[in-house]
Amino acid sequence: MSIGHCYEVYDHLLANAARLHDAKWLAEFLQPHCRYRRLGWRGSRLRIVQHPAEFAPFLIFMAAQRVRSYLEIGTSTGGSFFFADSYLRATVPDFERSVGCDRTSKLRDWDEYRARFERIEFRHVGSQDLSLAGETYDLAFIDARHLERWVLHDYEKVKPHCRFVAFHDIVLTNASVDKAWQRIKSRHARHWEFIETAIPPECRCGIGVVEINPAADAAAAR
Ligand X SMILES: C[S@@+](CC[C@H](N)C(=O)[O-])C[C@H]1O[C@@H](n2cnc3c(N)ncnc32)[C@H](O)[C@@H]1O
Residue 196 within binding range of ligand X, rule CB under 6 A: no
Which phi and psi (to 5°) does residue 99 adopt?
Answer: -130, 130
Give the number of other CB atoms < 10 A from CB of residue 149.
11
Report the interhelical angle of 177-185 vs 148-158 (nearest 10°): 40
Question: Contact 175/158 with Cβ under 8 angstroms?
Answer: no
Is 49 a residue that touches ligand X (CB under 6 A)? Answer: yes
* Residue choice 3, 26, 30, 101 for contact with ligand X (CB under 6 A): 101
Going by their DSSP bridges, the two strands 207-211 and 191-194 should be labelled as antiparallel
Region binding ligand X by CB under 6 A among candidate stretches 46-54, 91-99, 171-179, 201-209: 46-54
Residue 209 vs residues 6, 108, 201: alpha-carbon distances, Å: 25, 27, 20
Q: Binding of ligand X at residue 76 (CB under 6 A)?
A: yes
Beta carbon nearer to ligand X, 50 or 98: 50
Span from 21-29, 48-56, 107-115, 172-180 in contact with ligand X (CB under 6 A)? 48-56
Distance (Å, whole) CA 164 – CA 139: 5
Establish if 210 lies at the interface with ligand X (CB under 6 A).
no
- Shortest Cβ 217–ligand X spacing (Å): 25
Residues 6+ apart with CB under 8 A from 186: none
* Alpha helix ranges (H) inside the chain: 9-15, 23-30, 52-64, 79-91, 110-116, 148-158, 177-185, 214-221
C-alpha pair distances (Å), 160 with each of 31, 60, 154? 34, 24, 11
Task: Name which position in 52, 74, 206, 208 contacts ligand X (CB under 6 A).
Answer: 74
Q: In this chain, which stretch among 85-93, 95-103, 115-123, 211-219 interacts with ligand X, using CB under 6 A?
A: 95-103
Q: Does residue number 142 form part of the binding site for ligand X (CB under 6 A)?
A: no
CB of 153 or CB of 190, closer to ligand X? 153
Min dist CB 152 to ligand X, Å, is 12
When asked if residue 138 is in the footprint of ligand X (CB under 6 A), the reply is: no
The residue within the footprint of ligand X, chosen from 79, 98, 99, 171 (CB under 6 A), is 79
- Whichever of 103 and 187 has its CB closer to ligand X, that residue is 103
Catalog residues that contact ligand X under the rule CB under 6 A. 48-50, 73-76, 79-80, 101-104, 126-128, 143-145
